[in-house]
């Protein structure tokens, strides 16, 4: 016998029991996004590698070591499984001139791929819901996106998520800060770990969000980027904070929050939980006013976020308020010469009338079929046995709150079904 194959490390099966929670999560998130005026868009899961290199930045963890990239010899193309959605969404907006007639609010959901070291809450295939707003320069839409999240969490039954906020100014402001930051880090190079030393060369701002406490100590004394921001950047940040305060949203300004993708400017934010261990960021985002031009489009401001579905679903599961798996309305048993055909027709008619009906398959005694009906979670068992066949009837047995049993003419079973179902649920 050949040995069984397994799923790829860091890529998860979601089994039927858990799908109920995932679908409920998805329904709540999508309804919320639509209610706030965001419209769905879907982009491919594979793009040209150059898109992510240009958008996310060469000196980022994602581009340096986490992308699933390969050469498609059939077309002679360098391709990559998308590690995130913003780059694709902006590419699509440019390609289809989505903002030619004004700003757009968009949302997407789906799998993303990063070759990270798997651990709880960190996977190589993971799902995101993302929202992106194109063409809005002011802090009002930054605030809108953040408030939308704040309103979504309780709808998902979640509490205890905290908001961290920062501004990283413009590229010019960061360039002026960079010189002083590098000088400071150089002066303390002895305390930097290998990662920080490498970042010092390639992307010094990222040293600020090192998890290493000794590096953090050095970072804490670095010249604050905030001191290098001009009036426009400061006004944007103040505007955002005012709008958040007005909406009653609590936040902490974290000057070390810089995020791991290079396209950001001005606003960056993260929603964080302490309930999931090291992978506590459930949602992250910010502004990326330079990305359209960087990808060859007309300069257009952008701002958005993406939430990690696995992490949010895990929180929902822990909250104990996860919805129960859906039950079929009825499980249809059948036994005896010709019963299968009648049962098939009845199940077909009931489903056409909108009911969820599981038709028994695979034979077996009445007793074993009844056990399966019970295990299916159905509200009702419908029986077409020899007696019923002879009488042109079907037996209806309530399986949950009541154990009542009745017989009804098969011809009238569909029209009376709702009444039985109602009774079974009482
Ligand atoms: P990101 O911070 O890289 O941002 O990812 C957003 C969220 O996706 C994270 O906060 C986390 O919840 C989840 N996530 C990321 N990597 C993993 C992983 N390996 N396993 C499980 N969950 C993960 C972005 O992707 C940006 N595109 C967000 C954005 C949209 N910024 C502006 N617009």
Give dist(CA 197, CA 185) in Å, integer.
9
Q: Which stretch, 78-92, 179-193, 208-222, 326-340, has highest mean pLDDT?
A: 78-92
What's the confidence (pLDDT) of residue 130?
98
- Give distance in angstroms: CA of 298 to centre of ligand 1: 26
Q: Are residues 24 and 136 in the same domain?
A: yes
Has residue 188 been placed in a domain? no
Q: Are residues 309 and 340 in the same domain?
A: no
Has residue 324 been placed in a domain? no
Check pocket membership of 306 for ligand 1, CB cut-off 6 A. Answer: yes
Has residue 7 been placed in a domain? no
Check pocket membership of 272 for ligand 1, CB cut-off 6 A. Answer: no
What's the confidence (pLDDT) of residue 403?
86
pLDDT reading at 278 higher than 90: no
pLDDT (tens digit, 9 = 90+) per residue, 363-388? 999 999 999 999 999 999 999 999 99
Has residue 382 been placed in a domain? yes
Has residue 4 been placed in a domain? no
Q: Tokens for 80, please give them.
A: 């990559």
pLDDT reading at 209 higher than 90: no
* Mean pLDDT computed over every residue of the chain: 95
pLDDT reading at 65 higher than 90: yes
What's the confidence (pLDDT) of residue 348?
97
Check pocket membership of 114 for ligand 1, CB cut-off 6 A. Answer: yes
Has residue 47 been placed in a domain? yes
* Domain boundary, last residue among 285, 319, 353: 319
Q: Are residues 263 and 134 in the same domain?
A: yes
Q: Are residues 370 and 275 in the same domain?
A: no
The domain that holds 99 is classified in CATH as 3.30.930.10
Q: Are residues 143 and 263 in the same domain?
A: yes
Whole-model pTM: value is 0.94
- Where b means 16+ CB within 10 Å and e means fewer, 171-202 reads eebbebbeeebeebbeebeeebeeebeebbee
Once rounded to an integer, what is the mean pLDDT over residues 195-220? Answer: 90
Nearest-CA residue for ligand 1 atom 13 is 308
Domain that holds residue 372: 330-425
How many beta carbons lie within 10 A of that of residue 234, not counting itself?
13
Has residue 222 been placed in a domain? no
Give dist(CA 262, CA 260) in Å, integer.
7
- Residue 325's pLDDT band, with cuts at 50, 70 and 90, is confident
- State how many domains the chain has: 2
Nearest-CA residue for ligand 1 atom 23 is 308
Q: Are residues 271 and 366 in the same domain?
A: no
Sign of the C-alpha dihedral computed for residues 295, 170, 207 and 112 taken in this order: negative
- Give distance in angstroms: CA of 120 to centre of ligand 1: 15
Overall residue count recorded for the chain in this entry: 426
- Give distance in angstroms: CA of 52 to centre of ligand 1: 14
What's the confidence (pLDDT) of residue 370?
96
Check pocket membership of 60 for ligand 1, CB cut-off 6 A. Answer: no
pLDDT reading at 181 higher than 80: yes
Once rounded to an integer, what is the mean pLDDT over residues 155-176? Answer: 96
Q: For residue 250, which of 147, 122, 329 has the smallest C-alpha distance? A: 147
Q: Are residues 251 and 357 in the same domain?
A: no
- Cα 144–Cα 145–Cα 149 angle in degrees, nearest 5: 110
- Give distance in angstroms: CA of 307 to centre of ligand 1: 6
Reduced to 3 states (helix: H, G, I; strand: E, B; else coil), residue 327 is: coil
Nearest-CA residue for ligand 1 atom 2 is 284
What residue ranges in 190-329 does DSSP mark as E strands?
252-253, 265-272, 281-287, 302-308
Q: Are residues 116 and 254 in the same domain?
A: yes
- Give distance in angstroms: CA of 259 to centre of ligand 1: 10
Atom nearest to 116 CA in ligand 1: 19
What's the confidence (pLDDT) of residue 210?
87
Give dist(CA 47, CA 72) in Å, integer.
11
What's the confidence (pLDDT) of residue 281?
97
What's the confidence (pLDDT) of residue 225?
94
pLDDT (tens digit, 9 = 90+) per residue, 116-153? 999 999 999 999 999 999 999 999 999 999 999 999 99
Q: Are residues 125 and 36 in the same domain?
A: yes
What's the confidence (pLDDT) of residue 321?
76
- Residue 34 to residues 27, 41, 67, 107: CA-CA distances in angstroms? 11, 12, 31, 9
Check pocket membership of 130 for ligand 1, CB cut-off 6 A. Answer: yes
What's the confidence (pLDDT) of residue 211?
86
């Amino acid at each position: 016998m050949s040995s069984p194959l397994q799923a790829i490390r860091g890529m998860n099966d979601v089994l039927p029991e858990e799908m109920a929670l995932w679908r409920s999560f998805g329904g709540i998130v999508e309804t919320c996004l639509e209610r706030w005026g965001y419209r769905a868009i879907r982009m491919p899961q594979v793009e040209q590698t150059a898109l992510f290199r240009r958008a996310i930045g060469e000196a980022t963890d994602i581009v340096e070591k986490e992308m699933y990239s390969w050469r498609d010899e059939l077309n002679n193309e360098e391709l990559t499984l998308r590690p995130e959605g913003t780059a694709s969404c902006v590419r699509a907006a440019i390609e289809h001139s989505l903002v030619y007639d004004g700003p757009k609010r968009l949302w997407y959901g789906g799998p993303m791929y990063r070759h990270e070291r798997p651990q709880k809450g960190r996977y190589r295939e993971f799902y995101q819901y993302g929202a992106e707003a194109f063409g809005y320069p002011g802090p009002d839409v930054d605030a809108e996106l953040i408030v939308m999240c704040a309103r979504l969490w309780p709808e998902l039954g979640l509490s205890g998520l905290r908001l961290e906020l920062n501004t990283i100014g413009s590229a010019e402001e960061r360039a002026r800060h960079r010189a002083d930051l590098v000088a400071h880090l150089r002066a303390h190079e002895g305390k930097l770990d290998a990662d920080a030393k490498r970042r010092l060369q390639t992307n010094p701002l990222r040293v600020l969000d090192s998890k290493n406490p000794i590096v953090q100590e050095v970072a804490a004394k670095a010249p604050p980027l905030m001191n290098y921001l001009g009036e426009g950047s400061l006004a944007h940040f103040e505007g955002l904070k005012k709008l958040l305060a007005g909406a009653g949203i609590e936040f902490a300004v974290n000057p070390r929050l810089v995020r791991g993708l290079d396209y950001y400017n001005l606003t960056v934010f993260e929603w964080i939980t302490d309930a999931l261990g090291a992978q506590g960021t459930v949602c992250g985002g910010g502004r990326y006013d330079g990305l359209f031009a960087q990808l060859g489009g007309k300069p257009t401001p952008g701002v958005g976020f993406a939430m990690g579905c696995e992490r949010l679903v895990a929180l929902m599961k822990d909250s104990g308020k996860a919805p129960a798996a859906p039950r079929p309305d009825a499980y249809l048993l059948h036994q005896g010469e010709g019963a299968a055909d009648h049962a098939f027709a009845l199940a077909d008619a009931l489903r056409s009338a909108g009911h969820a009906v599981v038709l028994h398959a695979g034979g077996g005694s009445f007793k074993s079929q009844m056990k399966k009906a019970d295990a299916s979670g159905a509200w009702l068992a419908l029986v077409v046995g020899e007696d019923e066949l002879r009488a042109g009837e079907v037996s209806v047995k309530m399986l949950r709150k009541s154990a009542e049993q009745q017989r009804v003419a098969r011809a009238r079973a569909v029209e009376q079904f709702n009444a039985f179902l109602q009774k079974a649920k009482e």
